[in-house]
Amino acid sequence: MEKIDYRFEVKRYNGVPTLFICDKPVHGWFTGDTSGMKFEKELIKCFPDHLYSLRIPSPEFNTLSLEKDIKKLLQKDKDAIILFHFRTDRMPQWWIEKYGDELIVYDDGGKKASQCGPEKMENPSISSEIWKQYVCDSIRKYTRYLKENYPERFSGYYFAWGICGEWNYYGETDMNDWRCPDFSPAMIRKFRSWLREKYGNSIKLLRESWNDATIDFESAEIPQRIKRLSSELGSFRDPLRNSDVTDYYQFVSDIAADTFIDFCKTAKEQSSNTIICGGGYGGLMDINVCSYLYFGLTTSGGIKKVLNSPYVDFYSTPYSYYSREIGVGDCSYMCITESWKLHNKIRLGDNDTRTSLAEPFHKPFGRPDTIRDSIEILKRDFGQHLIRTSGGFWLAQWLDHPQLIKTISKLNKIGQLSMKYDRSSADGIAMIVDVDSLFYQKMANILMYKLLYEQRMNEFGRIGTPWHLYLHDDLAINDMPDYRVYVFLNTFYLTDSERKTIKEKVCRNNNTVVWMHAPGFQNEKGFSMDAIEDLTGIRVRYEDVSANSEIKIINFFHPLTNNIIPDSRDSFLGVRKMFEWSGTPSHGHMDHTGVVEPVFYADDPHAMVFGKIISINKPGFVMKDMGEWKSIYISAPMLTAKILRNICKFSGVHIYLDTDDLLYANRHFVVVHTKTKGEKTINLPVEANVYEAFENRCIGKSIKRFTEFIPARCTRIYFLEY
């Protein structure tokens, strides 16, 4: 009998990276543990690709319990294909006792911290070579075992490390306590080795960078918490001074990325490259949802390495946890979605949508009160996955109800339908993010929270056109698509060559480029106001004060602002409280104000002024016609959906929906999730036959525009056939 080559891989299909099983493209939706479910058999039938996730709870090699779990699953579904969730940092007690110097040490000398709950545990340092080698050996053993015994069932690994398995460094403040890591002997040794490599073993360069005439490679220490909270100018670190904290951020990000890649490489090589590998890495957009910038950096600071690695096939983040409520919430991803696609990676999301079956304490995470609302939230959340071509993992325990299972079945069928069509992104606007700028910000500042999290969750989904996230480094890639509008969110640290690349790519073709706060202010030469002007074409200055950044619009006689009502919500930029849409109270360490330091403003007599910063009475929202392109500078760290929509209209970007309801769209699907009831008019960029896919209802044939009454807190999934 001819041996079958069972191969699981990621290849491009219908415009996007796609999971292939033995050369067959699949939609990529998995279900987790269904044990104990009342309607288990019905849920299993909802997954035609037979994709499941099983856990390997520890790197200690033990096939007894794993064999039991596999056989139990195969009894339920003999065709099951399994991705193993491999927990790499839950070490056996003998290992913890033997290798105490390899464990994380916090700044109080303790070694235990909570992990998404009250339980405190000891964990290996990400810098431990002994730990990494142990895990890699275990990966080889498990891979050999699974390839020999279940070659047709073993699809790959999801590698988990850190809080919730999402590569978040331990010590996070989820239990109202910041456990500041990592002062272990393993971390100190690795940091000093990294410093030698970075500075070419030159003590002179190290001392200049750290602004310390006594430091050397044998005495360099991990920065303490107070140092991490400090800076030279408000939120900004001077790139030429006191680089110990910046170096530490970069170091931890590097070794986290290297470790993640090494795990994937080990598995791929052991399997002869026949499985897929990835994990819960890449939650960059949630960088400052907790007040301490450090933790998000360890998950995502090395993202450019991971994107360029041939050993990583997928990434897996949840969508952001706060502002998930029905009608007012969004299900925006934590990751840089389009960058991953551009580098031929797929997303397999941790889709832990709370339904009304979840315990009441899940209310802050969007738990609805009824099955009806649960269905609409599931449709909304799946709709974003459909539009962004994501697969993922349904959390089975909150789906154990006939109506919810029927909903999942319908949604998975819509996903199967989408595989037949072009799944590439529809035209929209590009949101540009920078990783390196994060290293040059002090901890516990407001900027990254508002720039990357709050305006994304509260505003971007309501613009009325698709928005796509990229790293600014992607602008140098030939496959990077062109846009009419670019919004640069946090590009504070840019080298001279990076500014040159940005200008060559975006400052042309009559594009509109929106610059937020302090673009290009930091570079390899320190702080530079001239660099901001070189990049934006607008002269910008700052007041060295700590003040509210809110902007009040004063010019209502231009397409950017002529539909704004004076003194309305949309006539102010920069200070929108989190959960404003829903009224959900904020959580202690997540409380942020609109105060920034310093306060940047436009000081250009040739720029048209639209708004002034209330606190300092100077221009904060201006536009300048640069001839071949238009430059918009906004000093506040947050925009509104209406202003962004006006910028899109002014720039010729197609607007699907001119309301503040959520909208997601790609080439063949449009998803709308309503905040309020009413007639909703959807404008299409092409003529198409339009169907409501979930209800299997024809809206119209050969149409480019249609109007429907949609109730409040309701989701519609429209399929465009053309």
DSSP 96-133: HHH-GGGB---TTS--EEESSSS-EEE-B-TT-HHHHH
| 40: region left, alpha or beta (phi > 0 left; psi from -120 to 50 alpha) | alpha
The residues with which 666 forms a beta bridge, in sequence order, are 425
Fold of 8-90+123-167+252-418: TIM Barrel (3.20.20)
What one-letter code names the amino acid at 630?
K
Q: Domain map of the chain by residue range?
A: 8-90+123-167+252-418, 429-651, 676-721
* Spatial distance between the Cα atoms of 203 and 214, rounded to a whole number of angstroms: 10
Domain 8-90+123-167+252-418 and domain 429-651, same fold? Reply is no
CATH class of 429-651: alpha beta
Look up residue 566 and give its DSSP letter.
Answer: T
Residue segments in the chain with a per-residue pLDDT below the cut of 70? 1-4, 115-118, 172-177, 287-299, 575-593
- Within 10 angstroms of residue 570's Cβ, the number of other Cβ atoms is 18
Tell me whether residue 622 is exposed, middle or buried, using C-beta atoms within 10 angstroms of its C-beta: 0 to 12, 13 to 18, 19 or more: buried
Look up residue 509 and give its DSSP letter.
Answer: T
pTM over 0.85: yes
Distances from the Cα of 239 to the Cαs of 176, 192, 209, 211, 490, in angstroms? 32, 20, 8, 11, 16
Q: In what order do the strands lie in the sheet with 551-553?
A: 467-471, 429-433, 485-488, 511-516, 629-634, 618-625, 608-613, 551-553, 572-573
What pLDDT was estimated at residue 116? 66
* Spatial distance between the Cα atoms of 506 and 430, rounded to a whole number of angstroms: 10
3-class secondary structure for 361-388? HHHHHCCCCCHHHHHHHHHHHHHHHHHC
What pLDDT was estimated at residue 121? 86
Q: How far is CA 308 from the centre of its chain?
A: 17
List of residues 6+ apart from 633 with CB closer than 8 A: 514, 515, 536, 538, 540, 602, 607, 621, 622, 623, 624
Cα dihedral 595, 600, 604, 609, rounded to 10, equals: -20
What pLDDT was estimated at residue 408? 96
Tell me whether residue 542 is exposed, middle or buried, using C-beta atoms within 10 angstroms of its C-beta: 0 to 12, 13 to 18, 19 or more: buried
Look up residue 35 and give its DSSP letter.
Answer: T
List of residues 6+ apart from 397 with CB closer than 8 A: 33, 37, 357
What pLDDT was estimated at residue 480? 95
- Within 10 angstroms of residue 129's Cβ, the number of other Cβ atoms is 13
What pLDDT was estimated at residue 170? 82
What pLDDT was estimated at residue 614? 94
Q: In what order do the strands lie in the sheet with 24-26?
A: 8-13, 16-21, 24-26
